[in-house]
Amino acid sequence: MTFLAAAIQLSTKDDKAANLEKSEHLIRLAAARGAHLVALPEVFNWRGKRAEEAAAAESLDGVTLTLMAGLARELEIHILAGSITERASGQPKNYNTSVLIDPDGRYLAVYRKIHLFDVDLLGRVTIKESDAKVAGTEVVSAETSFGRIGLSVCYDLRFPELYRRLAFAGARILTIPSAFTFPTGEAHWDVLIRSRAIENQCYVIAPAQFGPNVHGFSDYGNSMIVDPWGRVLARAADMEGVVIAPIDLDYLERVRRELPSLAHARLR
């Protein structure tokens, strides 16, 4: 079985309406090019100052995911709503939440980012995601007509045990919507994305943010689709847009059959 998947690259700002209009345009473009699975980056619908984040947060039935569900139904595609700031009931902080939507507009999977990005990069970039976010606790995957898809978000990429658990749960495709900083992306993005694909013998779809952002630093971009052998099938240029690549599940099964490292795993 082969189908086309798309990764959308954005430079999201603090105008939610404009961000959603742009996202819709690129989803429609990807679908017109034949994509049956379209993935958006982390915080695709809004990215602004920390003090304004609570007001921009939404519930799962808010305007953003309602729009995404409607597009999935209209275009008859799966949409990975990269991540939104989800309002957490009864808590002062919010979740960073990724949602997989099927062609009927149903939420197949809701994943709340487990690993929060708290770093000080040599005095250049200081980020403390946990100041405004609460971590999720569940490893999440969902069965689709394409096979099982495992969800993650950005900083999760550095924790291989998450992806091994997804692979053992049956995932064939791993989604990693991201907003990687330029310093960490330049150093580690490619090697980590390819490693997660190779070690788990999965396709990886990694849509990302790029360019200067409201927080005063730049995001790395380089949205990618990588096959189970670690080959980069598609990579975005330094611009907003869409990259598309074929997902060949027969090839994935051949890789797993000829190099059965997952079957040989002794530690689970």
Q: Regarding beta strands 35-39 and 2-9, do their DSSP bridges make them parallel or antiparallel, or are they unpaired?
A: parallel
Distance between CA atoms of 16 and 22, rounded to whole angstroms? Answer: 10
3-state DSSP assignment of residue 77: coil
What's the mean pLDDT in 220-240?
98
Angle between helices 63-75 and 16-32 (to 10 degrees): 20
Q: Regarding beta strands 125-128 and 118-121, do their DSSP bridges make them parallel or antiparallel, or are they unpaired?
A: antiparallel
Give me the domain span that covers residue 127. 2-264
Q: How many domains does the chain have?
A: 1
Q: What is the pTM assigned to this prediction?
A: 0.96
Enter the tokens of residue 260: 């059965």
Residue 153: the pLDDT is 98
As annotated, the active-site residues are 42, 113, 154
CB atoms within 10 A of CB 21: 12
Instruction: Report pLDDT digits (tens) over 130-173.
Output: 777 899 999 999 999 999 999 999 999 999 999 999 999 999 99
CATH number at residue 200: 3.60.110.10
Q: Is 200 a residue whose pLDDT tops 80?
A: yes
* Res. 90 pLDDT band, cuts 50 70 90: confident
Instruction: Report pLDDT digits (tens) over 30-82.
Output: 999 999 999 999 999 999 888 888 889 999 999 999 999 999 999 999 999 99
CB 113 within 8 A of CB 93: no
Distance between CA atoms of 11 and 43, rounded to whole angstroms? Answer: 10
